[in-house]
Structure 1
Amino acid sequence: GMLVIEEFFDVWTGGKVSFDYHLFFDKYWEEDIENTIKRDYNHPSLIMWSIGNEITWGAGIDVNDRDSYSNIYSWCRCLSEKVKTVDSTRPVTSAFCAIPSELINRSSLEDGNIVVTMLHPEEVDPANDKWGEVTEIFFEPLDVAGYNYKVGRYSYDSVRFPNRIICGTETHPYTLFKNWTETVKNPNVIGDFVWTAIDYLGEAGIGRFWLDENEMRMFGGEFPWLLANCGDVDICGEKRPQSYYRDIIWGSRRDPYIAILPPNLYGKKLYIRAWGWEPVERSYTFPGCEGMPVIVYVYADADEVELFINGRSLGRKTSGFNTQFKTTYDATYEPGVIEVVAYKNGKEIGRDRIESASEPVSIKLLPDRDIISSSYNDLCYIKIIAVDKNGKEVPYADNRITVEVDGAGEFVVLGTADPLSTELFVNRERKLYKGKALAIVKSIGEKGEISFKAKGEGLEGAQIAIKCI
């Protein structure tokens, strides 16, 4: 199931942008808390209330202010007490990030040809622990302390604040191994939330990679960057490689997982923010790159893994905890089948394989449901996939497609996970991205069938019917 922490506010009296909620906070905070709790109180998945996220970040808040109307310590106590008068059954938290004085000394991490930049400071200087002083007061009225990008404090704070219950409310994707290792090791930490699960529009390009070291100084990407590009799941609902790595670290996937750094990136220094991920692909189809070197990543919870290309072994390598569940192979790209076998105690425990595709020839449609409600606005999500003559997905296809909707429904949107696309989601035409697109149709209050057609340049079209009952 799903456990939910519901958050009331992103700002209190200090605004992060000119026209955000801080303009209305003083008038409506109490009413909004009451109405939100009354609306959602009976949801069994709701385990905790949050009164704010990073309320000091970019809001001009002075953490040394303990006397004025805007001081965060009085407001934290006031908001927490208000929540508990309405719902005394659930704990209350708030997420706190680095304070400005800490951000002077951001660090970088080199991992092979990957350079992770602008990491938040996590190590503790006991002689100058300003963050500890601030949060000692701030977290006092709360049941759970929300730590944003403070994994390095978990062990230290278990001693300094032995009664503090910690939740990793935001952590970096790239440091997942450390995040989860520290979470499991420290009984004072109840869980870990990555930023972020599903990609989104906004904070454009924070999860990008680039080849220019100077470009890393920018927080986001310049136009046409549109998506954050940092989700474990893309905006079309497809799991990305880092999500499968997370499954393995969590112990929920037994089979290994193959991802490949494309040939055009081999041997190059790749710069990413810690919200990003190594720019690997779930693909073994690189037309025109035959004979070029590639790096094959294997994510596995195993003693050893063995990689095969077209049946030829590239040898066994150590895997598992000691390699942070990542093993890499240098290989030469040759179309065909790439396969990995994982071993524990000398016995095979799982395998994974990718097969090269040929050129795209047709469209395959995969609706999430064949039957939806005829009541107005029930949705059906339809994957649009380019496939080759053998029905294999073609991950490099970028054909332009057009969709048509008739019958007892209406077109809503057509999109892809392309973080740089300037195409409108409300258009019925766009290019595929990595061989895929996603369309959404809705019911209009009539019983019958929705007819959905997709056609593409150089591709045989496809059609499906969705029943509205």
Structure 2
Amino acid sequence: MHLPKRFLPFVAAGFIALAGANAAEAPIRERIAFNADWRFTKADAGPAPAAGAATPAAQPGFDDAAWRKLALPHDWGIEGPFRQEYPNDTGKLPWWGVAWYRKHFTLPAADAGRRIYLDIDGAMSNAQVWINGRHVGGWPYGYASWRVDLTAHVKPGGANVVAVRLDNPPASSRWYPGGGMYRNVWLVKTAPVHVAQYGTFVTTPVVTQASATVNIDVTVDNRGAATEVQAATEIYALDAAGKRSGQPVARKEPAAPAKAPAGAQVQLSQALAVANPRLWSTASPQRYVAVTTITDKGRLVDVVETPFGIRTIAFDAARGFLLNGSRLTINGVCQHHDLGALGAAINTRALERQLEILREMGVNAIRTSHNPPAPELLELTDRMGFVVVAEAFDTWGIGKTPNDYHLHFDKWHEKDLRAMIRRDRNHPSVIAWSIGNEIVEQGHPEGWKVAARLSEIARGEDRTRPTTAAYNHVGSGYNGFQGAVDVFGYNYKPHEYRNFHEHAPHIPLLGSETASTVSSRGEYFFPVGDDQSKGLANFQVSSYDLSAPPWASPPDKEFRGQDDNPFVAGEFVWTGFDYLGEPTPYNNDATNLLNFTDPAQRQRMAKELESLKKISVPSRSSYFGIVDLAGFRKDRFYLYQARWRPELPMAHLLPHWNWPERAGQVTPVHLYTSGDEAELFLNGKSLGRKQRGPHEYRLRWDDVVYQPGTLRAVSYRNGKPWAEDTVRTTGAAAKLLLSADRQALRADGDDLSFVTVTIADRDGLPVPRTANRVTFSLTGPGEIVATDNGDPTSFESFQSPRRNAFNGLALAIVRPRPGQAGKMVLTATAEGLGSAQVALESKAP
């Protein structure tokens, strides 16, 4: 059955409707953003209810007029205040507690007879939902996406109230989790017969240059009377913006009607052929969309669109990871879910900016540590061309903190794992399902059986991708865990790659978490040495990139481990960006003891942790990031760029060259370059030409004696000039420079501009080691939503319009007001440095 044009679906205002003659009728399916006009209180409005019990704040007549008005997504924890007495491993922010959200809304009378659902992409945590005073469900896992059915208790044509109670317990996370309805919420309306939530699954079992077989499995949910249903599908190519281009490239007419009993689900399957397919890859992320129509006894009742990609993936024990038949070395990073100064509240532009910065470094892969990601991340990785290992859990049945996920594992692990896979299995960027991270069960004789069970669940939902896990115990490679997953992941074990491969030559191997080097942007401590436990001072870490916790290492050791063992598929560095919480090495988290199996190491680490508990640790965020919390590149960025983008002519010198107190003292100089040799000059005098030898990933001049002036490096490749870098002793701070990552914005209330302020001398050179206090102000239809500087020890509110620069840099984040187009001007001022401005403009979306 080929539908006439008047039945072809189109996307408008966030929902699928019918065009032409049916325009006046109710849309077939609506998916409406449900984020506006919520009321919120960070307090328990009544006693903790038993599941399904009546509670005052859930009742439609409850007076919430005094509650705060806000829009979702919302993270209450990021609003602070910072407190020294709060746990620094979770950011010293108040993310725990009980809170309520309520929303008043009216449904059109025309919605009578339709199914009404509330889809919540994520709520932190232990959510319970009521509609008009009736309990309709909930979900404990704060990272899960889930749905509740409002149909039985909602009032079409009348007023309705949805109430959500969250209970985020303390001691339930090892990092900053955020608190609140921190991901998007949707109101979904369908006919009684409709495609179920996550009810389409697209696979491409056969792919050649000439043709690709596209299989589509559709789950139809019948919430009406017994009937017969059919499905038809058209496939379109998508352009770079995600819009359909041209005519359908494939079409499948419906098969014979299938019986759909009342209150049951029915599975429909179709196979289509796409000629000359455009393959999805990291270099060219080509995508398609399957438009599936469902008819009920010939009457159109639902239309769904499923974006997907055509590609082949495989992990090979000898060749690593293969994308479309060719090896793709995984140059990956691990990412926590917070967005720095914005907290855990999801923002697509902030995620996109992170990915843009990581791509500049050469990143092609993301591991979602240690939980299911926001849907928007995978939409971006599909579009931008990153591969993803999606991770489900940080704990199984044995906890790492008193109130973490282990309390829910027995009852909820299967629901949570299936929900993640069903939601995300159409994303071409997802290449593996990780069932756990550094789980405590590694040391238990029967622990591998849990891994095997989780892998079995994952394969039951999706056999097109392998399972994996991140193991931090050497023994997990030999005690049964290695056979419970399809791809074995080692955390911090480059020295073990060869042994594992010789023991299990048939199992693909991945560096699932690597390096964990720590550094603070722009901080350098002397003397400089290769003892990775050194380089710490003033609750900062030296940026010579030689410091790491006992279980970890500088990047160079991991590079060597992979170069010596090319069968390893690649690595996921801990981490791409700094994140809130876990300020190793300045934390006092006893869970770090889990990283040590040797009793002597555990005993030594326990003593160190005990000593840290006796002092107040002024650290809010991690030091692991290759990029700091504000999005400013650390020196390590260029070490990875040199390795991961070898064809890019680049050179990066460190440290800066403003050291008046070090005149006449040895001040080592390092160079990160994609060249193979380089010559260093100080004030025009050569300090020697060095060639990079085997297993050397940086060039070092360790005996440079400081004198002010100009430090210049010229790198070579195959004997020819390749790239240069220069650092100079600057003048005193004299002015501010402003630079916006984007000046044209959408007036949709979500778009952002990230504006960097640089402290500069009169010649415009950045002045390191400056900490001038900067005040931001904005005119026009927008607001400054956050500021930061990347300093892990800064406890100024992220919402403050004032911020000290940290080593010469600070950041302001500007958001246009929804629906208000116009020009905006951001001004930065600092005493003695005058002011600087940058013009922005918001336009109607």
User: Residue 478 of structure 2 is aligned with which of 90, 114, 133?
Assistant: 133
Counterpart mapping for 1:222-237 below 5 A:
223-237=617-631
8 Å CA contact 1:302, 1:320 repeated in 2 = no
Secondary structure at 1:38 match in 2:
helix
1:177 aligns with 2:177: no
> Which moves more between the two structures, 146-155 or 310-319?
310-319
- Cα deviation, residue 437, structure 1: 0.7
- Answer yes or no: is 1:409 the counterpart of 2:782: yes
SS in 1 for 2:498: helix
- Residue 247 in 1 paired to residue 641 in 2? yes
SS of residue in 2 equivalent to 1:331: coil
RMSD: 2.4
2:667 match: secondary structure: strand
Pairing 1:197–2:576 present: yes
Q: Which amino acid aligns with 1:42?
A: N
Alignment of 1:342 onto 2:715: yes
Mapping 1:89-100, distance limit 5 Å: 89-98=464-473
The separation in 2 between residues aligned to 1:244 and 1:207, in whole angstroms, is: 25
For 1:245 and 1:207, the matched residues in 2 are separated by 24
Q: Name which of 31, 50, 54 aligns with 2:415.
A: 31
Displacement after TM superposition at 1:313 (Å): 1.3
Which amino acid is the alignment partner of residue 232 of structure 1?
I
For 1:347 and 1:216, the matched residues in 2 are separated by 52
User: TM-score of the superposition, structure 2-length normalised?
Assistant: 0.45
- Name the counterpart of 2:444: 64
Structure 1 residue matching 2:452: 3-state secondary structure: helix
What amino acid is aligned across from residue 796 of structure 2 in structure 1? E
What is aligned with 1:447? Answer: 821
1:159 aligns with 2:538: no
Q: CA deviation at 1:252?
A: 5.0
* Match among 257, 263, 270 for residue 652 of structure 2: 257
Change (3 A) 1:205 1:423: farther
State the shift of 1:165 in Å.
Answer: 0.6
Structure 1 residues 323 and 90: CA distance shift in structure 2, 3 A? closer
SS in 2 for 1:321: coil
Aligned with residue 456 of structure 2, among 81, 95, 100: 81
Consecutive unaligned residues in structure 2, runs of 5 or more? 1-384, 518-552, 588-603
The correspondence for 2:427, drawn from 36, 43, 52, is: 43
The amino acid of 1:35's aligned partner reads A
Report the 3-state secondary structure (helix = DSSP H, G, I; strand = E; otherwise coil) of the residue aligned with 1:462: strand
**Residue matched to 1:110:** none
More displaced 10-residue stretch of structure 1: 220-229 or 443-452: 220-229
- Give the SS at the match of 1:306: strand
- 2:565: which partner in 1? 186
Q: Partner residue of 1:270?
A: none
C-alpha spacing 1:5/1:252, structure 2 compared with 1 (3 Å)? farther
Q: Max radius of gyration: which structure?
A: 2
Equivalent AA in structure 2 for residue 368 of structure 1: D
Q: Deviations over 1:24-49 (max 9, x none)?
A: 22222222222222322232222111
Q: TM-score, normalised by structure 1?
A: 0.79
**In the TM superposition, what are the counterparts of 1:231-380 in structure 2 within 5 Å?**
231-250=625-644, 251=646, 253-260=648-655, 283-321=656-694, 323-380=696-753
Report the secondary structure of 1:376's partner residue. Answer: coil
Aligned residues of 1:300 and 1:319 also touching (Cα < 8 A): no
- Distance 1:91-1:322 versus aligned 2 partners, 3 A rule: closer
Q: How far apart in 2 are the matches of 1:320 and 1:246?
A: 17
Please give the alpha-carbon distance, in whole angstroms, between the structure 2 residues aligned to 1:463 and 1:170: 42
Q: What is the percent sequence identity of the aligned residues?
A: 35
- Contact 2:449-2:484 within 8 A present in 1 as well: no
Structure 1, unpaired ranges of 5+: 67-71, 100-129, 209-213, 261-282
| Cα deviation, residue 93, structure 1 | 0.6
Q: Retained in 2: the 8 A contact 1:301–1:321?
A: no
Amino acid at match of 2:478: E
- Whole-Å Cα distance in 2 between the matches of residues 205 and 412 of structure 1? 28
Whole-angstrom distance in 2 between the partners of 1:327 and 1:462: 38
Give the C-alpha shift of residue 20 in structure 1.
1.1
Which is further off, 173-182 or 12-21? 173-182
Closer/same/farther in 2, CA of residues 217 and 298 from structure 1, 3 Å limit: farther
